[in-house]
Amino acid sequence: MFENPSLITRIAIGKGIGFLIGLSGFVALPYFWPEAGWMIRWGILFWYTTFGAIIGVFGIFTWHPVLHLPMPWWVRAPCLGAWLNFVLTFFAYDAMKAMLVSMFGVDGLFASPFWFCLEGAIVGLFIGYFATRFGGEGKETLNI
């Protein structure tokens, strides 16, 4: 599947994909939410770049350290992505709520900011796939 597993490659792929996702949010957000300020837009760009780097870094863990269960990339990456976006939603709830109400209405199906957790899981799965496909996984990525 991959020839030379590398943590640096995993992180670079994760950051690159995260940057592209963040850039699409940076550019598209004013069309969906005209009240979006520069801080929110820059925050989305930097958030997803960091998001991708974190998913890349966690590729060295193939076993859960406490439960001693296997953690393949397709479990690890979506769980981590959902958790990261849950934390983001927790701290930026008001801004995210205003954005979703502006986009979907007060009674819209997607009016809850916690839908970002599902979005984080999907983005995490996407980043995790490409980071694992081209950067490998496990301790062999450390090149020690």
**Mean pLDDT estimate for the chain:** 90
Nearest CA-CA partner of 62 in 142, 137, 141: 137
pLDDT of residue 119: 94
Helices (H), the chain: 7-32, 38-57, 73-91, 93-104, 115-135
* Tens digits of residue pLDDT in 76-92: 999 999 999 999 999 98
pLDDT recorded at residue 62: 85
Could you give the percent of the chain with pLDDT greater than 70?
A: 97
Quick: pLDDT tens for 21-66. Answer: 999 999 999 998 888 889 999 999 999 999 999 999 998 888 877 8
Q: Which of 53-57, 112-116, 122-126 has the lowest mean pLDDT?
A: 112-116
Under a CB-based contact definition with an 8 Å cutoff, are residues 23 and 45 in contact?
yes
The closest of 140, 100, 131, 134 to 116, measured between CA atoms, is: 100
pLDDT at 2: 54
Per-residue pLDDT, averaged over 2-18, amounts to 88
